[in-house]
Amino acid sequence: MMTCCSVGPAIDAATVFAGDLAPWVTTRPDGSRELDLIIPRLCSPESIPVIEGALEGLPGLTSARVNFTSKRVVATWNEPSFNPAGIGEKLNELGFISRPFDPSHSGLKADDAQSRLLLRAVAVSGFAAANIMLLSVSVWSGAEGSTRDLFHWISAGIALPTVAYAGRPFFRSAVRALSLGQFNMDVPISLAVCLAALMSLYETFNHGEVAYFDASVTLLFFLLTGRYLDHLMRARARSSVSQLLSLSASSAMVEEADGTTRILAATALQPHMRMLVAAGERLAADGIVISGTSEIDRSLLTGESNPELAAKGAVVHAGMLNLTGPLTVNVTAAGQDTFLAEIIRLMASAEQSRSRFVQVADRLARIYSPAVHILAATTLAGWLIWTGGDWHSSLMAAIAVLIITCPCALGLAVPAVQAVASGVLFRNGVMIKDGAALEKLSGVDTVIFDKTGTLTLGRPRLTNSASLSSMDLALAAGLARSSRHPLSRAVCEAAKSREIAPAAVDDVQEIPGCGLSASFQGEPVRLGSRHWCGIEENDGQGLPEFVLMRNSKTASIFAFEDELRGDAAAVIAKLKADGLRVEILSGDREIAVRRAASTLGIERWQAGATPQQKLAYVESLKAAGRRVLMVGDGLNDAPALAAGLTSMAPSSATDIGRTAADTIFMGESLQPVLVARDVAIATQRLSIQNFVLAVGYNCLAVPIAMLGFTSPLIAAVAMSTSSIIVIGNSLRLGLFFRKQTAVPAARPQQGAPDLPYLERRAA
Amino acid sequence: MTILLFLIPAALALGALGLAAFLWSLRSGQFDDLDGAAHRILVDDDRPKRSNPPE
């Protein structure tokens, strides 16, 4: 299956949506109500009947329908009194996290409508093309006189409405371009289609021999297919991205002056509101802690991998994760002074300075469209001179040139490859936001990685598990079991992987900033910082540690390290072997960055970089002419992500990181970076091959058309063959990568790195 | 050649029928969930429907 199972790290909001569902409920024309829910982790088809069965068991619900492709559930009911909150609770019982969403709001409906319009146009033009082609075959095989006229008239009857209906996407775009005083590919397309149809109509009136109805409709059919593929790719990427974003659509619990609480959307928060943040929640706004003590994970904001203590008076920012205790936060002034606003301002300026990237297809269109018009005009003028003013045959020749040169295969050359490429990448856990990202990715010569959350998984791992006695580990796991602190979770995971059951301890208390205390068989036990346990600080390696105290005696020391992604070293070695310059640009402390860099064999690294410094560094590399791929996840990376030629972010990144990045990859593996680059290079190669094929065909056909030897038959054959060759060539990409990569996009658990793609690539 | 007067409308009608069928299936949402439809065929839907429970 695909990669959906690995959305995991992005989800740390409350598992049941707690807000008011009323805004998401829509009333249908027949009076029944409908609620759309996204289930991001829906990944096994066996869940379809489970979910539908469970939901239909809810009293009052009339139907529940799972859409497996878009990972949604549509639930409908008739009674206005039905409480839709039960749906989310039921799903949660089944182990699914769900979020309500409004399809019309998230832009998906517009995408859907557009894609249906295009698909209908493809269907109509396909029908018309097939039927006109059948009639044309009869004409080409020698129908004459009134039979030929009849066939032409029937063709006209099919072709003219088809052109009017299915040609609209091109006509609109051409009119828009012309009204801005520009040319795009759609101008010659519209001209060719309309002129061919009109000229053929004129010929039909005058019992002429030659009609190009089939050409104009077939042209539309091929071009619409290309346009549909292009649209499909963008829509798919957008819908995946909006699914990810919907997960973290954050809300906040606000305490009113009278002590009552209510849930507000993060955007509705105002300064001076009192926000209650439970342990395990992400902060929805900037503020100052009024009461409570807790540890705060700020890794997404600063790249700092160790949690920090936050007590009364501490300044906290949106996006930080509250780990150990509840906090009451006074929301500070929104507006231009917040950390978030500063990041967004930096991002906007970085995006402005991002030099406008022109895709190969657009560059070609700029040369191609004028060239086509000049050729047609030259043909007209040449024929007028040659024939001494025979308008009829001159116009016929000029229109034939327009039809023959119409960028039919060109319109398919890039979309077809990109559609195949995005499918290949999707299966490998990479989501590309648009085709330009693929093109940019193929030309990259420098890769800059953020450390925390990008090269690492952003969560600590117990490094000395093997040297701990199983008794100590069991005891520590018993204490840590109830805590959300990342170090505690690492202890539990280590115990689980050694198959040690947590010891039963009583009276567990979590003291933020210090650790956990409890009693075990009557003895006091503690698990926490050196300071709290009364041991002298160590040599300052800067690595997080836990001390386990049993009966006031030190039992053992637990050492942690932010774990590198299992295949990070192998992926980086491959990137370097491909001649790319690889660097680390991190906001974390020097010692942690140095260790990661030396493990991964990266010579160039920077630690302690602020968002501004990251941005400045990427800009300076760009100024030096390097084509930078920025890979990062945090808020602090967002400006640099926007500044790089192109950028990738793991799906666990912040909203802003995911918005800023061109490409998002899923799972615990870093391999998608490599796969994406390989696919991008192959895509680029195939696109260029397709261009050469298409232009080559035109070069052969144009002289024939200019000399007036074109017949509708030649036009039809030339157009169809070149289009089919281009599509066939594009499909090679899918075949190649299907053979090469059976990459499990997400490894279920860490452990031995599973590198089928890397191995195959080396072979 | 009068046979053409029957054959051509017949051919066109058949084509139009196909087009209409496609447009209908598009409108009725049969293309909305292609992955799901592929798996639903394997779903054992013998479970009793709530609307007509077993006697």
Q: Where are the domains of chain A?
A: 4-106, 110-239+362-417+683-740, 251-344, 433-445+566-666, 458-564
Share of chain A above pLDDT 90, in %: 8
Buried/exposed A545-574: b ≥16 CB within 10 Å, e otherwise: bbbbbbeeeebbbbbbbbbbbbbbbbbbeb
Burial of A173 (0-12, 13-18, 19+ CB in 10 A): middle
Overall fold of domain A251-344: 2.70.150
CA–CA separation, A549 and A347 (whole Å): 47
pLDDT digits (tens, 9 = 90+) for A489-545: 888 888 888 888 888 888 888 887 788 888 888 888 888 887 777 776 665 566 777
A450 is known as an active-site residue: yes
Question: What is the structure's pLDDT at A730?
Answer: 87
- Give φ, ψ of A459 to 5 degrees: -145, 145
Choosing from A36, A214, A434, A450, the catalytic residue is A450
Q: Give the Cα separation of B18 and A116 in Å (integer).
A: 17
Question: Residue A59: pLDDT above 60?
Answer: yes
- Smallest CA–CA distance, residue A45 to chain B, in Å, is 6
Q: Classify burial at A335, counting beta carbons within 10 Å of its beta carbon; exposed 0-12, middle 13-18, buried 19 or more.
A: exposed
Task: Give the span between the Cα atoms of A463 and A391, in whole angstroms.
Answer: 85
Higher pLDDT, A153 or A273: A153
- Residue A133: name the closest of A220, A205, A202, A226 by CA: A220
- From chain A, pick out residues whose CB is under 8 angstroms from the CB of B15: 127, 130-131
> Under the phi-then-psi rule, with left for phi > 0, alpha for psi from -120 to 50, and beta for the rest, what region is A566?
alpha
CA distance A241 to A250: 16
pLDDT of residue A1: 34
Q: How wide is the angle at C-alpha A490 spanned by C-alphas A488 and A491, nearest 5°?
A: 65
How many angstroms away from the CA of B16 is the closest CA of chain A? Answer: 7
Inter-chain touch A48–B39, beta carbons under 8 Å: yes
* Domains A4-106 and A251-344 equal at CATH topology level: no
pLDDT digits (tens, 9 = 90+) for A574-626: 999 988 999 999 888 888 888 888 888 888 898 888 888 888 999 899 889 88
**Angle (CA) A268 A296 A746, round 5°:** 90
Q: For A433-445+566-666, give the CATH class.
A: alpha beta
Report the predicted TM-score, pTM, of the whole model to 2 decimal places. 0.73
Q: Does B44 touch chain A (CB under 8 A)?
A: yes
pLDDT at res. A4: 40
Of B15, B43, B45, the CB nearest to A130: B15
Find out whether A530 and A513 touch, Cβ atoms under 8 Å.
no
CA distance A40 to A234: 19
Burial of A355 (0-12, 13-18, 19+ CB in 10 A): exposed
CA angle A192, A196, A198 (to 5 degrees): 120
Q: Going by C-beta distance under 8 Å and a sequence separation of 6 or more, which residues neighbour residue A636?
A: A301, A302, A303, A343, A587, A609, A610, A611, A614
CA angle (A652, A654, A660) in 5-degree steps: 110
Residues in Cβ contact with A225 at an 8 Å cutoff, skipping those fewer than 6 apart: A122, A412
Q: Quick one: tokens of A328? A: 């009451």
Angle at A458 between CA A282 and CA A567, to 5 degrees: 145
Q: Which two tokens stand for residue A139?
A: 């004409």
| 3-state DSSP assignment of residue A16 | coil
Contacts for A480 with CB less than 8 Å, ≥ 6 apart: A487, A488, A489, A491, A492, A502, A516, A527
| Contact flag A68-B33 (C-beta cutoff 8 Å) | yes
> What tens digit of pLDDT does each residue of A27-37 get?
878 888 888 88
Instruction: Test B19 with A127 for CB contact under 8 angstroms.
Output: yes
Residue A707, pLDDT score: 83
Query: What is the average pLDDT across A247-254?
Result: 62
Map residue A184 onto helix, strand or coil. Answer: coil
**Is the per-residue pLDDT at A316 higher than 80?**
yes
User: Does A633 score more than 70 pLDDT?
Assistant: yes
Residue A333: per-residue pLDDT: 58
Question: What ipTM was predicted for this assembly?
Answer: 0.78
Question: Is the pLDDT higher at A165 or at A96?
Answer: A165
What is A458-564's CATH topology?
Calcium-transporting ATPase, cytoplasmic domain N (3.40.1110)
Phi, psi of A69 (to 5 degrees): -65, -50
Q: Which phi-psi region, left, alpha or beta, contains residue A388 (left: φ > 0; alpha: ψ -120 to 50)?
A: left
Query: Does residue B53 belong to the interface with chain A, where contact is any CB pair within 8 Å?
Result: no
**Interface contacts A/B by beta carbons within 8 Å:** 59
Among the partner residues A53, A66, A70, nearest to B47 by beta-carbon distance = A53
Which residues of B are less than 8 Å from A123 in CB distance?
19, 22-23, 26
| A448: β partners | A583, A630
Q: CB distance B36–A67 less than 8 Å?
A: yes
Minimal C-alpha gap between A84 and chain B (Å) = 19
A131/B12 CB distance under 8 A: yes
Cβ-based neighbour number of residue A499 at 10 Å = 7
Q: Is the pLDDT of residue A674 over 50?
A: yes
Cβ-nearest to A123 among B19, B44, B50: B19
Mean pLDDT lowest among A246-250, A383-387, A441-445, A663-667: A246-250
Tokens 């559609």 found at? A419
Tell me the two tokens of residue A492: 């539990």
CA gap B24, A607 in Å, rounded: 60
How do the pLDDT tens digits run along chain B, 55 residues long?
A: 678 788 888 988 999 999 999 999 888 888 777 778 888 888 766 655 544 444 3
Neighbours of A532 (CB within 10 A): 17
Three-state DSSP string of A694-707: HHHHHHHHHHHHHC
Indicate the fold that domain A4-106 takes in CATH. Alpha-Beta Plaits (3.30.70)
Sign of CA dihedral A208, A214, A217, A222: negative
Q: What is the pLDDT of residues A200-232, one digit of tens each?
A: 899 898 888 888 888 889 888 988 888 888 787
The answer to whether the Cβ–Cβ distance between A67 and B50 falls below 8 Å is no
Among A156-170, A173-187, A350-364, A726-740, the least confident range: A350-364
Averaged pLDDT score across all residues of chain A: 79
Q: Say how many C-beta atoms besides its own lie within 10 A of residue A93's C-beta.
A: 10
Cα(A246)–Cα(A99) distance, rounded to whole angstroms? 7
Residue A96: its pLDDT value, please?
A: 79
Token representation of residue A331: 């929301």
Q: What distance in Å separates the CA atoms of residue A80 and residue A60, rounded to the nearest whole number?
A: 10
CB atoms within 10 A of CB A130: 18
Chain A residues close to B47, C-beta within 8 Å: 49, 53
Instruction: Kindly tell me if the per-residue pLDDT of A642 is higher than 70.
Output: yes
The pLDDT-based confidence of A763 (bands split at 50, 70, 90) is very low
What residues in B contact A121, CB-CB < 8 Å?
Answer: none
Does residue A754 register a pLDDT over 60?
no
In terms of pLDDT, which residue wins out, A714 or A118?
A118
Q: Which residues of A touch B (CB under 8 A)?
A: 45, 48-49, 53, 56-57, 66-70, 116, 119-120, 123-124, 127, 130-131, 134-135, 147, 150, 154, 158
pLDDT at residue A230, as a whole number: 79
What is the pLDDT, as a whole number, of residue A250? 59
Tens digits of residue pLDDT in A85-141: 788 888 878 877 777 776 665 566 677 778 888 989 999 999 999 999 888 888 888
Min Cα distance A261 → chain B (Å) is: 39
With beta carbons under 8 A apart, name residues in chain B contacting A49: 43-45, 47
> Residue A130 and residue B42: Cβ atoms within 8 Å?
no
User: Are residues A375 and A189 in contact, defined by beta-carbon separation less than 8 angstroms?
Assistant: no
pLDDT of residue A147: 85
Q: What is the pLDDT of residue A447?
A: 93
As a whole number of angstroms, the distance between CA A449 and CA A586 comes to: 8
**Edge-to-edge strands, sheet with A456-462:** A456-462, A553-564, A545-550, A523-528, A515-520, A506-511
Residue pair A527/A516 in contact (Cβ under 8 Å)? The answer is yes
Nearest by Cα to A638 from A384, A406, A343: A343
Task: Summarize the confidence of residues A457-484 as an average pLDDT.
Answer: 82
Q: Is the dihedral of CA A356, A361, A364, A369 positive or negative?
A: negative
Q: Which two tokens stand for residue A59?
A: 């009293």
Using one digit for the tens of pLDDT, what is the confidence trace for A354-399?
545 667 777 777 787 788 888 889 988 999 998 887 888 888 888 8
CA-wise closest residue to A660 among A265, A348, A374: A348
Dump pLDDT digits (tens) for A324-343. Answer: 778 888 888 554 556 766 77
Quote the longest CA-to-CA distance of chain A: 113
